[in-house]
Amino acid sequence: MNVAAVPISSSRRGFLAASCGAVLFVYAIYLGALGVLLPAIGDSFALGAGVSGRLFPATFGGFVAGVLVCGYLSDRVGRKRVLLLGIAAYAAGLALFGNAPNFDLALIAGVLIGAGSGAMETVASALAADLFPERRAFILNVLQIAFGVGAALGPLAGQALLRGGTDWRLLYLGLAGASAALFLAFVAQRVPPPPGNGAETLDPAALRTVLRQPAFLWLCLAQAFYVGAELGFFSWMPTYLRREVPGGAAWEGRVVAVFWIAMTLGRIGVAGFGGRIPVPRLITFLALGAAVMSALALAWSAPLPVLIFVAAGGLCFSGIFSLILAEAGERYPQFAGTVFGGVMAVGGVGGACFPWAIGALAETSLGWRGGLVLVPILAAGVAGIMPLLGSRRTTSS
């Protein structure tokens, strides 16, 4: 039976969208815990910050490949098949990382985690946008709220494991099991095809036109700056607190949770602005605030002010990711999977390069404060890109 011929009820659409949120939630637990677990992972494999920071290029290199390939494939062969492939790769990578006897194998597992998570985030976002096209910005922001909850719980779970004397590997293995359960849950659900049945409407010539448009390229660059700034900020702030802030070691596990709690609250707030402020203008305000607050977080040498400005930075960073995706989706709705994949792939390049650069710079005479100055610079760059987008025009297929 052709699933396109069978309408999906509102309740089924809601359940499927909630399942997409669960996909992002499970991925976010891993990503949120990474900053807390990095020192323990480095100790397990006898690594310094610069070497353990190689996890970022490995993981986000896989992420880039995942979103480029799977975003396009989801437009061609359907969201469900590609999402299942991504979940399976993510679960396998987590299981391999949790059992890796050496760092070389852990890097290979990181590539697999990245490829799977890239497919998961891209296709789950595109699927949710398909389900509620009339509320695209809202539903994508809701997914990012689910992501924020997972990212806030991840560092708390990681810190609890470490303080309880439990090996960090247990979190990876537990997430692998949760991902396997998600895989089975999606197998049992009926997923509609992309709008217009994807493969029949995808015009390669029109798609090439989209990929060459300056606005699309600027959105990609903005996402690269944003992902690099956000990931570098919350991943390395625990290390910064421990090494640079007197008394900060007691807060290294909580700073990531503080950041993501603020991010989640900010995303709830941003959802209320849907349609009231032009998206590029809202991104500009948020990015400028993120630049200022992250700079202020580095200007203090006491834990409490640092945490306050980290939280304020989280509020400002909160809506940028989903708003950039929403703007791309509004400009090019007929290529949602491919366009989301392109924007998120370049974002993954930022996630691969900039956090690694922060760790490498921190091992020079600049120290951690000097390395983390990249964060406000990148956030300011996002704000500077927005006026370059021009007016919104949709390319027809």
d(CA 346, CA 327) in angstroms, rounded, equals 16
Q: How many CB atoms lie within 10 A of CB 165?
A: 6
The CA distances from residue 121 to 28, 118, 209, 378, 391, in Å, are 10, 5, 25, 23, 28
The three-state secondary structure class of 365 is coil
What are the tokens at 308? Answer: 């306050």
User: CA angle 351-357-359, nearest 5°?
Assistant: 105
Max Cα distance, the chain (Å):
65
The three-state secondary structure class of 278 is coil
Return per-residue pLDDT of the chain as tens, 397 residues: 344 444 566 767 778 888 899 999 999 999 888 878 887 888 888 776 555 667 788 888 888 888 778 767 877 778 888 999 999 999 999 999 999 998 889 999 999 999 999 889 888 888 887 887 777 767 877 887 888 889 888 888 888 888 888 888 999 999 999 999 999 988 888 777 666 544 434 455 655 777 778 888 999 999 999 999 998 998 889 889 988 898 887 787 788 889 988 988 888 887 666 567 888 899 999 999 999 999 999 998 889 999 999 999 999 998 898 889 888 878 777 666 677 777 877 888 898 889 989 988 988 899 999 999 999 999 999 999 999 987 665 444 3
Domains for the chain: give ranges and CATH numbers. Answer: 11-388 (1.20.1250.20)
Judge contact between 226 and 383, C-beta under 8 A. Answer: no
DSSP string over 27-41:
HHHHHHHHHHHHHHH
Which amino acid type is present at position 42?
G
Contacts of 56 (CB under 8 A, 6+ apart): 231, 235, 351, 352, 353, 355, 356, 359
Backbone angles phi, psi at 45, to 5 degrees: -105, 10
